[in-house]
């Protein structure tokens, strides 16, 4: 069975988002329409103050979580901005599910899972026939994450500092393998 859910995991700071962006660019260069959401940390004076969420197609941005956020669920020193996550991230994933070839989700993790709309949208993406390339929290126990990891059409890639270049080639090859099968149908 061709793997349709390409999941990237690994310890914090190993380069999961960077890898995901490189995969996105490689697939776009091959003519595939790629969309979804990316999360990046935001730093001020060298210190991380939060995370922004970005729609890959529109480049619309919002806060996923911030130390300055006064309301919302708390993860460590950050408070999650459910409204921005839903308005930017969830809409980006839905748009990719409905209109594009590849759905990118960065990340299925503790901050994002506070949003019911995010959880439902991830389920929709996973159940779609689209290729989904996603980062997934490396050790979080959660019913949704566990069910995604156990799917027969899922391939989990553990990213390390030592396998980054090889992993990029592997994921691009697997993505193109799946997409070429879809193109042939």
How many Cα atoms are found within 13 Å in the side-chain-facing hemisphere of 70? 0
Q: Could you state, in order of their start, the residue ranges of all structural domains in the chain?
A: 5-39+52-57+84-184
Contact 114, 140 (CB under 8 A): no
Q: What is the pLDDT of residue 182?
A: 77
Using CA atoms, how far apart are residues 128 and 142, in angstroms rounded to an integer? 21
- Tens-place pLDDT, residues 22-43: 999 999 999 999 999 999 999 9
Contact 93, 85 (CB under 8 A): no
Can you read off the two tokens belonging to residue 69? 């956020």
Per-residue pLDDT of the chain (185 residues; tens, 9 = 90+): 578 999 999 998 899 999 999 999 999 999 999 999 999 999 999 999 999 999 999 999 999 999 999 999 999 999 999 999 999 999 999 999 999 999 999 999 999 999 999 999 999 999 999 999 999 988 877 899 999 999 999 999 999 999 988 999 999 999 999 998 877 77
Q: What is the pLDDT of residue 1?
A: 56
Q: What is the pLDDT of residue 64?
A: 97
- CATH class of the region 5-39+52-57+84-184: alpha beta
Specify the 3-state DSSP secondary structure of 92.
Answer: helix
Q: What is the pLDDT of residue 181?
A: 81
Contact 148, 125 (CB under 8 A): no
Q: What is the pLDDT of residue 173?
A: 96
User: Residue 9: enclosing H or E segment and its boundaries?
Assistant: strand 5-9
CA distances from 74 to 47, 69, 84, 139 (A): 18, 10, 15, 18
- pTM here is 0.94
Helix intervals (H) in 53-105: 82-84, 91-99
């Amino acid at each position: 069975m061709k793997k349709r859910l390409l999941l990237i995991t690994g310890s914090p700071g190993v380069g999961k988002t960077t890898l995901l962006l490189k995969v996105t660019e490689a697939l776009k260069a091959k003519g595939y329409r790629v969309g979804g959401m990316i999360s990046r940390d935001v730093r001020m004076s060298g210190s991380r103050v939060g995370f922004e969420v970005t729609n890959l197609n529109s480049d619309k941005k919002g806060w996923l979580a911030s130390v300055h956020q006064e309301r919302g669920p708390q993860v460590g020193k950050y408070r999650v901005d459910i409204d921005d996550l839903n308005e930017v991230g969830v809409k980006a994933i839905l748009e990719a599910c409905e209109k594009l070839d590849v759905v990118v989700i960065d990340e299925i993790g503790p901050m994002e899972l506070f949003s019911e709309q995010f959880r439902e949208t991830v389920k929709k993406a996973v159940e779609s026939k689209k290729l989904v390339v996603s980062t997934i929290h490396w050790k979080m126990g959660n019913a949704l994450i566990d069910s995604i990891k156990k799917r027969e059409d899922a391939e989990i890639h553990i990213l390390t500092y030592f396998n980054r270049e090889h992993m990029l080639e592997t994921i691009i090859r697997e993505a193109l393998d799946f997409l070429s099968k879809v193109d042939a149908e």
